Structure 1
Amino acid sequence: MTAFDDLMAYQRQTEALAQVAGRLGWDQETVMPDGAAGQRAEEMAALEGVLHARRTDPRLGEWLAAAQAPDAVGAAQVRQIARVYRRTLKVPARLAEELAHLTSLAQGIWAEARAKDDVAAFLPTLERVVALKREEGAALAQGGDPYDALVDDYEPTMTGAEIGAMFDRMRPRLVALRAAVLGAEAPKGLVGRFDGEAQMALTRELATVFGYDWNRGRLDKAVHPFSSGSGHDVRITTRVSEVDPFNCFYSTIHEVGHAAYEQGIDPAYALTPIGQGASMGVHESQSRSYENQIGRSRAFTGWLYGRMREVFGEFGIADAEGFYRAVNRVHAGYIRTEADEVHYNLHVMMRFDLERALIRGDLAVADLEAAWNDRFRADFGVAVDRPSNGLLQDVHWSCGLFGYFPTYTLGNVYAGCLTKAMRAALPGLDADMAKGDVSAATGWLRANLQRHGSLMTPRESVQAACGFAPTEGPLLDYLEAKFGDIYGL
């Protein structure tokens, strides 16, 4: 065997163990008994210790130095292994295990605090998480910006400065669009109760419509919907509100976007470094385009309107056009995951600024709730009424996912570019989607982006699919055209 062969054989075992760690996380968020939290934290820390040791094994350095990739795919594999090896060497094993242990416990503490609207019960744990993430960021940055080092975990080669500059360019057009929309007459929303079991039956149908492979996945409920796994085991979750079925349906479609990406990667890449999404931003481009550009389109919502009437009977919306407007109704709500397309990126921008300040030490955890509430009132014009609608609404910081939030808007930006290219390639798309057939759209995304996994860098992946370098322009143009039409601007 060559050095390249040895490297890939070793890495395959590491990737398999990482999938086991992911499965433990899925179990914790879905079916694990509450009393198992302490033991699960130890299990996660132990497994993280094993993974850290494998990712820093001195043999990796020797194999990387000697490996001769046989082709472009092999070169991409080596690039990904080398990247993780260099990063992991900078983080002490003690810190990696401590983070795994604490964030496993923190998720349960956050969930309980959220249920009780008790910020004080969560802040001491969050303070410890932030301290460890600052330490990790400093270790990775080695004198550079620690927040940039954390962002690189989720969006390789992207920096906080680049993200901030993009957000600064986007904000004026988003704020102007929001002002115009909120100044117009709002369409009628849904009113009534929608049986939870009926929602789950229809949401499973929607997952199938969007191409989810049930032979390699399953759907469960969670406090915060997510997707987990890759290759032949990719699981999704959703949640149910009997007064808001859109929460269930579009959470499911969103997570199917993530899952379809992982299920759509070339099977030859399974359990290898490139056998997963190129970045969280590219991942979000799939989930957001499935959810919004496809799932909230006039064509598809026309079909969904018919299915909802068949399942739930009359629910106060007179026709498909009124339903389309209800699905895309703009309102200044508290919750990011329930936000309309106009407000969504403003939620992300707020979190980006707050977490960047936390990691840099410019904002203390003790002052975070006040900073959140002040910023929310300034950005959205309303006061936060309770912590579960404010600081406690997102799971990310309890998991230590600092640097993750901006990838949501990067995903929207990428989705805008991909949709522009897809629409140009598929002029008859709306006719199919009006029949509940989105396979042309999902097939285009699979063929042009999903199948490649991490073969290319994030921006290269999007550019190869679109034919042009990603920029925020197509997203903003799409939003202004869509909501200008809906609101008669």
Structure 2
Amino acid sequence: MTAFDDLMAHQRETEALGQIAGRLSWDQETVMPRGSADQRAEEMGVMEGLLHARRTDPRIGEWLDKAQAPDAAGEASLRLIRRSFERTARVPARLATELARVTSKAQGQWAEARAADDFAAFAPVLAQVVALKREEAAALADGGDLYDALLDDYEPGATAKSLSAMFDALRPRLMALRDRALGAPTPPSALPGTFDPKVQMHLTRKLAIAFGYDMNRGRIDRAVHPFSSGSGRDVRITTRTDPADPFNCLYSTIHEVGHATYEQNIDDAYLFTPLGGGVSMGVHESQSRIYENQLARSEPFCGWLFGQMTEAFGDLGVSEREFFRTVNRLHKGFIRTESDEVQYNLHVLLRFDLERSMIAGDLDPADLEGAWNERFEADFGYRPERASQGCLQDVHWSVGLFGYFPTYTLGNVYAGCLNAAMRADLPDLDAALANGDPSPATAWLRDKVQVHGGLYQPREVITRACGFEPSEAPLLDYLEAKFGAIYG
């Protein structure tokens, strides 16, 4: 065997172990007994120790020095393995193991604190997580910016400076559009009535299949925070139900299906290789957001969904046109995942700034709740009433995902670009959507984005798909046109 063959054989086993670790995390958030948290934390710590040892095996450096890639996919694999090897080697095994153990434990403590609206109960373990992430960032940064070192895990090539410039361009137009819409004389109202969670889950599965999710290689479960887990032939998603708000369940599911089909549609030849997962979280979010918003919240698709919900729940108390306006209504609220398209990114920008401050050491984690509430009031005009509406609503910081939040807005920007290019290529798309058939769009996204996995760099994937460099302009133009029409 050649050095390249030896390296890829080693990588295949490492990727398989990574999938097993991911399945442990899925189990923890769905069906694991509550009393198992401490044991699971130890198991996750051991698993991360094993993975760290494999990813820093000295033989990898030797193989990389000798390996010759047979094709473009092989060259991309070597690039990603080298990047992972060099980054992982900078992080001591002790630190990697401790991070896995503490974040696994913190996840359970976050869930309990969130249920009790008790930030003080969560603050000590959050401080531990932040301290460990700062230590990890210092090891990775090698004298550079700490936050950029963490961001690189989720969006290679991006920097806080470049994202800040993009976000600064987004903020004023988003806030102006938000203020005009909320001041409209006849705003859409919420959907009246209550909706059986069992029926919601039945309709959720129908929507997942319509958007291309392969239930033979996946499953849908309930969790506190919806998420997608896995890749290749085992990709699972979760959702949540609210009897008063069926859209929470339906659109959370479509969002996660966007993530899941990305993973399911990657070229099978890349399974158990570095190319076998989504290239970045920004590109990943572009898939979930375009499925959820530009496709599933479009007027043609909402017309079809109106018929499905009427059949499932009976008279909805609104007309088809008003249903579309209700699906897309701007409304005051505290929860990011329940936010409308216009205000969603304002929620993300708040988190981006706060987590940068914590990693920089400018914000003590113990002071997070107060800082959150002050910033939220400045951005939205009202304050959270309890911690579950504020700094405890997201799971991300409890599991150490610092640098993840800005990829949500970057994903929206990418989705805006992809939507503009896709609409140009598919002039008859609305007719299919009106029949509940998003397959022309999902096939376009599969061929342009998803099948490539990690073959290209993140921005290169979007540029190749769209034919132009990504920018915030298409997203802003889309939002202003759509909500300008809805709100007059």
CA distance in 2, matches of 1:418, 1:320: 28
Deviation, 1:332, is 2.0
The answer (yes or no) to whether the contact 1:282–1:414 under 8 Å persists in 2 is yes
Task: Map 1:152-231 onto structure 2 (within 5 A).
Answer: 152-184=152-184, 185-231=186-232
Separation in 2, partners of 1:366, 1:41: 23
The one-letter code of the counterpart of 1:246 is: F
Letter in 1 for 2:44: M
Deviations 1:90-147 (CA, angstroms, capped at 9, x unpaired)? 1000000000000001010000000000111000000000000000011100111010
Written as runs of structure 1 = structure 2, the 5 A alignment for 1:366-385 is: 366-385=366-385
| Whole-Å separation in 2 of the counterparts to 1:288 and 1:383 | 27
Task: Output the CA distance in 2 between the equivalents of 1:371 and 1:9.
Answer: 48
1:22 paired to 2:22: yes
Partner of 2:396: 396
Q: For residue 160 of structure 1, what is the amino acid of its counterpart?
A: A
Q: Tell me what 1:364 maps to.
A: 364
Is the Cα contact below 8 Å between 1:276 and 1:453 reproduced in 2? Answer: yes
Q: Which amino acid aligns with 1:252?
A: T
In the alignment, the residues of structure 1 paired with residue 321 and residue 425 of structure 2 have an alpha-carbon distance, to the nearest angstrom, of 26
Q: Which SS does the other structure have where 2:235 is aligned?
A: strand
Counterparts of 1:271-282 in structure 2 under 5 Å?
271-282=272-283
Deviation, 1:321, is 1.1
**Partners in 1 of 2:363 and 2:189 — Cα distance?**
41
Structure 2: how far apart are the matches of 1:83 and 1:96? Answer: 17
Question: Could you say which residue in structure 2 is the equivalent of 1:2?
Answer: 2
| Other-structure match for 1:471 | 471
After TM superposition, give the deviation of residue 290 of structure 1 in Å.
0.3
CA deviation string 1:296-345 (max 9, x = no partner): 0001000000000000001211x211110000000121000000001000
Residue deviations 1:425-459 (CA, integer Å, cap 9, x gap) = 00000001000011000000001110000100100
Which residue of structure 2 aligns with residue 420 of structure 1?
420
Q: CA deviation at 1:191?
A: 1.2
Is the CA contact 1:332–1:343 (under 8 Å) kept in the aligned structure 2?
no
Equivalent position SS for 1:427? coil
Q: Secondary structure at the match of 1:334?
A: coil
SS of the residue 2:153 aligns to: helix
Partner of 1:433: 433
SS in 2 for 1:82: helix
* Structure 2 residue aligned with 1:293: 294
Instruction: Report the Cα distance in structure 2 between the residues aligned to 1:48 and 1:147, rounded to whole angstroms.
Output: 22
The answer to whether structure 1 residue 346 and structure 2 residue 332 are counterparts is no
Structure 1 vs Structure 2 CA RMSD: 0.5
TM-score by length of 2: 0.99
Residue 6 of structure 2 aligns to which amino acid in structure 1? Answer: D
Q: Distance in 2 between matches of 1:63 and 1:259?
A: 33
Describe the SS at the equivalent of 1:158.
coil
SS in 2 for 1:78: helix
How many residue pairs were aligned? 487
What displacement does 1:179 show?
Answer: 1.1
TM superposition outliers: structure 1 runs of 4+ over 3 Å? none
Q: Output the CA distance in 2 between the equivalents of 1:459 and 1:332.
A: 33
Matched, 1:132 2:132: yes
> Which residue number in structure 1 is paired with residue 150 of structure 2?
150
Paired amino acid for 1:117: D
| Shift of residue 352, structure 1, vs aligned partner | 0.1
Residue 103 of structure 2 aligns to which amino acid in structure 1? Answer: T
> Could you report, residue by residue, the CA deviation over 1:213-244 in whole angstroms, capped at 9, with x for unpaired residues?
01100000000000000000000000000000
CA distance in 1, matches of 2:302, 2:41: 43
1:116 aligned residue: 116
Q: Distance in 2 between matches of 1:379 and 1:112?
A: 28
Q: CA deviation at 1:189?
A: 1.7
CA shift at 1:188, angstroms? 2.1
Deviation at 1:56, TM superposition (A): 0.3
2:199 maps to 1:236: no
What displacement does 1:183 show? 1.1
Deviations 1:176-217 (A, max 9, x none): 111111111311220110001000000010001100001100
Q: Which amino acid aligns with 2:34?
A: D
Amino acid at match of 1:416: G
The SS at the match of 2:230 is strand
Percent identity over paired residues: 69
Per-residue CA deviation, residues 4-46 of structure 1 (Å, 9 max, x unaligned), is 1111111000000000000000000000001111110011000
Aligned to 1:63: 63
**How far apart are 1:383 and its partner, in Å?**
1.2
**Residue identity in the other structure for 2:191:** L
Distance 2:246 2:179 in 1: 27
Q: Give the Cα–Cα distance (whole angstroms) in 2 for the partners of residues 188 and 36 of structure 1.
A: 43
Q: Is the 8 A contact 1:41 1:102 kept in 2?
A: yes
SS of structure 2 residue aligned to 1:351: helix
Secondary structure of the 2:229 match is: strand
Cα distance in 2 for residues equivalent to 1:136 and 1:265: 31
AA of the residue aligned to 1:477:
D
SS for the counterpart of 1:156 is coil
SS state at 1:100 partner: helix
Give the aligned partner of residue 302 of structure 1. 303
Q: Is contact 1:293–1:419 with CA below 8 Å preserved after alignment?
A: yes
Letter in 2 for 1:234: V
Aligned to 1:315: 316
Give, in whole Å, the separation in 2 of the partners of 1:67 and 1:475: 42
Amino acid at match of 1:182: L
